[in-house]
């Protein structure tokens, strides 16, 4: 079983839609959960990080962690074309990445 599983997409949504991106992880010892955004030919850019179950909100982005089911989510409200990128979930201190979900927001 992979340590972190993420649906690679691609995912296309219309502008203004709510986007839900999800990952599952296998090791219950993981304590840190992060979402990164990666534009083409750029490094991963940190969006959100948390180390507890529950929700964390930052502007249009909400990160959700459910440690009991080992499930993490990123919600994007009022999605914009500029949100088009690959979104990577990452867990644990040294970061084990998911494979990334490619998101396209259509104007």
Hey, what long-range contacts does 45-53 have (CB within 8 A, 24 or more apart)?
Answer: 47/74, 47/87, 48/74
> Smallest distance, Å, CB 97 to other proteins?
4
Q: Tell how strand 101-106 and strand 11-14 pair up.
A: parallel
Task: Yes or no: say if 38 and 96 are a contact pair by the CB < 8 Å rule.
Answer: no
The yes or no reply on residue 99 touching other proteins (CB under 8 A) is yes
Q: Least Å distance between CB 73 and other proteins?
A: 18
Q: Contact letters (x/-) for other proteins, 22-61, by CB under 8 A?
A: ----------x-x-x----xxxxxx--x-x----------
List the one residue from 87, 91, 98, 101 that touches other proteins (CB under 8 A). Answer: 98
Asked if 49 and 37 touch (Cβ cutoff 8 Å), the reply is no
Among 29, 69, 93, 107, interactor with other proteins by CB under 8 A: 93
């Amino acid at each position: 079983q992979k340590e972190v599983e993420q649906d690679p997409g691609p995912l296309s949504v219309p502008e203004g839609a709510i986007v839900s991106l999800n990952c599952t992880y296998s090791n219950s010892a993981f304590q840190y959960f992060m979402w990164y955004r990666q534009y083409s030919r750029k490094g991963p850019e940190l969006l959100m990080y948390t180390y507890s179950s529950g929700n964390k909100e930052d502007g249009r982005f909400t990160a959700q962690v459910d440690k009991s089911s080992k499930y993490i989510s990123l919600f994007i409200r009022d999605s914009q074309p500029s949100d088009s990128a690959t979104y990577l979930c990452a867990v644990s201190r040294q970061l084990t990445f998911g494979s990334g979900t490619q998101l396209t927001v259509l104007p």
